[in-house]
């Protein structure tokens, strides 16, 4: 089998814990929305606004591949319901700008930076995320050859086409790309469906179920280089 030439990485709950940054960004979203549109609270308290987003997704399922637009459009429609009329797009855009800035305030798991630096000396690294964190805004992006978001390519993991985008970005064949991520369905099942080898991140505090179909598992980033070597030697 061909040697591994490239590695694709999921982001949320693989490079960093997602819950703290998502909760913080959600607070920013709510605060800014109420600051710019006080009437929103009367009709759409936080939970109602979330239910409104979910209802919109049922109506327009393609938005699951465009999560930034999904959030922005849902807020715009809620604002129109509250009587903000033609101001709604502008208000929604400003609120989202503050949300997405807060969304980037991630804290890497321990040892991520040093391990990425080591791996980048041997492999092409590509990020592949369904989320809207923008790796290009983070210092560790210097270790990556390409950064791919579902909303940029219009398709989400576990669809094989998402992994095919990573293959294309790395310029390699299926047998030459290893995928690393935490999610049993999106990352491990998705990688298998695309014909890729995979390693599952099981970081402390995340609570992911172990997927026995992965070719390896790690809970400490320092374990990863050795684990990759073991995967290479058993392929």
**29-39 confidence digits (pLDDT tens):** 999 999 999 99
Pairing of strands 177-181, 146-149: unpaired
pLDDT at 144 over 90: yes
Cα–Cα distance between 221 and 41 in angstroms, integer? 43
* pLDDT at residue number 128: 98
Q: What is the pTM of this model?
A: 0.94
Asked whether the beta carbons of 224 and 115 are under 8 A apart, the reply is yes
* pLDDT tier, 2 (very low <50, low <70, confident <90, very high otherwise): confident
Token representation of residue 59? 């109506």
Distances 132 to 2, 26, 58, 163, 224 between C-alpha atoms, Å: 33, 13, 20, 17, 25
The per-residue pLDDT for 136 is: 93
Give the pLDDT confidence of 59-114 residue by residue, as tens digits. Answer: 999 999 999 999 999 999 999 999 999 999 999 999 999 999 999 999 999 999 99
CA distances from 69 to 19, 59, 73 (A): 21, 14, 6
Strand 217-218 and strand 146-149: the pairing is unpaired
Q: How far is it, in rounded angstroms, from Cα 92 to Cα 69?
A: 10
Mean pLDDT across the chain, nearest whole number?
96
102 Cβ contact list (under 8 Å, min separation 6): 21, 24, 25, 28, 29
> What pLDDT was estimated at residue 235?
73
For residue range 175-226, list pLDDT tens digits in order: 999 999 999 999 999 999 999 999 999 999 999 999 999 999 999 999 999 9
Phi-psi region of 203 (alpha: psi -120 to 50; beta: other; left: phi over 0): beta
Which pLDDT value is given to residue 1?
A: 61
8 A C-beta contact, residue 94 and residue 35: no
């Amino acid at each position: 089998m061909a040697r591994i030439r490239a590695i694709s990485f999921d982001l949320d709950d693989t490079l960093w814990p997602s819950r703290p940054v998502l909760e913080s960004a959600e607070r920013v979203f709510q605060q800014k929305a109420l600051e710019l549109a006080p009437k929103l609270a009367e009709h759409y308290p936080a939970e109602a606004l979330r239910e409104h987003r979910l209802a919109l997704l049922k109506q327009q399922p393609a938005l699951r591949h465009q999560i930034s637009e999904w959030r922005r459009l849902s807020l715009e429609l809620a604002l129109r319901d509250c009587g903000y009329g033609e101001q709604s797009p502008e208000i929604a855009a400003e609120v989202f700008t503050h949300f997405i800035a807060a969304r980037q305030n991630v804290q890497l798991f321990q040892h991520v930076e040093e391990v990425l630096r080591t791996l980048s000396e041997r492999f092409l690294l590509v990020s592949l995320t369904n989320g809207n964190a923008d790796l290009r805004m983070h210092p560790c992006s210097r270790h990556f050859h390409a950064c791919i978001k579902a909303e940029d390519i219009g398709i989400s993991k576990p669809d094989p086409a998402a992994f095919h985008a990573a293959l294309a970005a790395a310029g390699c064949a299926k047998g030459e790309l290893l995928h690393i991520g935490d999610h049993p369905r999106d990352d491990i099942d998705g990688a298998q469906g695309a014909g890729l080898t995979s390693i599952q991140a099981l970081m402390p505090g995340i609570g992911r179920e172990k997927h026995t179909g992965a070719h390896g598992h790690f809970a400490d980033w320092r374990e990863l280089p050795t684990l990759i070597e073991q995967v290479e030697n058993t392929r």
